[in-house]
Amino acid sequence: MFIIENYSLAVIFCVITMFCWGSWANTQKLAQGKWAYEFFYWDYVLGIVLFSVVAALTLGSNGSTGRGFLDDIQQVDSANLISAFVGGIIFNLANILLTIAIAIAGMSVAFPVGIGIALILGVIANFFLLQKGDPVLLFVGVIMVTLAIILNAVAYGSKKTDSNLKTGAKGIIVAVIAGVLMSQFYKFVASGMDLENFVEPAAGKMTPYTASVVFSIGILASNFILNTIMMKRPIEGVQLSYAGYFKGRFKLHLIGLLGGCIWALGNLFNLIAAGKAGPAVSYGLGQGATLIAAIWGVAVWKEFKNSPPKIIGLLAGMFLFFIAGLGLIIIAGGS
């Protein structure tokens, strides 16, 4: 199977993760107004499963290094399988809530608040899973990201008018809940892998490829419950049925599948990078997706169009703190 052997390449993989995790929601924006987000989300989940399985049967099975996917999944302990599966369930609940927050509050707000919180709490949780890297630099970097989140929230509050403050507050609350849940999924997946040795993983442990497949199955299985509930009792819009999903145009289904594949690529690369960078650094850099999503929201989707200089200044400060924080996280992992 394909693995990486040095920290520099691990950082590059984490940066790719950052772009993937920060960009998949653009596919939701493309479908918004044409396709109910609950329908979009089904295709998104199927895209995650499809990419994970194909990657496991190709990159995760070819070559002489490591344990191939089919051999690996047959020897995994049930406790590790359950752990990765539960990680998928937690992620799915968090991501459904994040998707809702994006629809309510906008991409440049829901991502910085939700995923920013996930970054802070997730780095702490994953550092105690495997204490790798300089803890001082790592947590100073996390503080920088926290300041970036605060600046973004202030900018968003300044942008809102009295008529839409209530809706904006609702979106932020949903994003906060999503962030807390999102901070927990990664440690369930990472704990099922042998993070110390991907070349000759310990018996009963998984390779990143197997972990990504089991994780994706957890997402899919939980989606039959979680997304069905959202279809029947949506926070916004009318009640939906599965008949409407199957009546959707092929192009709309492809948009969701693409979004899922983009996210799954980032997830797999992040799990592969965790072997050299450690789960705290790998997860923390991946969740720099917050910065990428904010750039998309500001520069492409014009979510802060015609804002006064004060708000532009707050956004500029947010970007600077994010960049500084991510830089410190990178240095911490190489220490």
Per-residue pLDDT of the chain (335 residues), as tens digits, is 899 989 999 999 999 999 999 898 899 889 988 998 899 999 999 999 999 999 999 999 998 788 999 999 999 999 999 999 999 999 999 988 887 787 777 666 777 778 778 888 999 899 988 888 899 999 999 899 888 878 877 776 676 554 455 556 778 888 899 999 999 999 999 999 999 999 889 999 999 999 999 999 999 999 999 999 999 987 667 899 999 999 999 999 999 999 999 999 999 999 999 999 999 999 988 888 878 877 887 888 787 788 889 888 998 998 999 899 989 999 998 87
CA distance 296 to 22: 8
Q: Which of 121, 93, 100 is nearest to 25 (CA)?
A: 100
Query: Tokens 């994006």 appear where?
Result: 102
What pLDDT sits at residue 23? Answer: 92
User: Percent of the chain, pLDDT > 90?
Assistant: 58
Q: Which of 194, 251, 248, 225 is nearest to 66 (CA)?
A: 194
Q: Which of 101, 20, 12 is nearest to 296 (CA)?
A: 20
The residue type at 163? S
Tens digit of each residue's pLDDT (9 = 90 or more) over 104-149: 776 667 777 787 788 889 998 999 888 888 999 999 998 998 888 7
Q: Which of 309, 310, 306, 286 is nearest to 298 (CA)?
A: 306
What pLDDT sits at residue 301? Answer: 79
What pLDDT sits at residue 108? Answer: 63
Residue 202 is classified by DSSP as P
Helix (H, G, I), strand (E, B) or coil at 164: coil
DSSP string for 109-120? HHHHHHHHHHHH
What pLDDT sits at residue 162? Answer: 45
Q: Which long-range contacts (CB under 8 A, 24 or more apart) does 229-237 make?
A: 230/38, 230/41, 230/96, 230/100, 231/38, 234/38, 235/100, 235/104, 235/174, 236/100, 236/103, 236/104, 237/36
Tens digit of each residue's pLDDT (9 = 90 or more) over 29-55: 899 889 988 999 999 999 999 999 999
Query: Tokens 């029947």 appear where?
Result: 232
CA distance 153 to 143: 15
Residue 193 is classified by DSSP as B
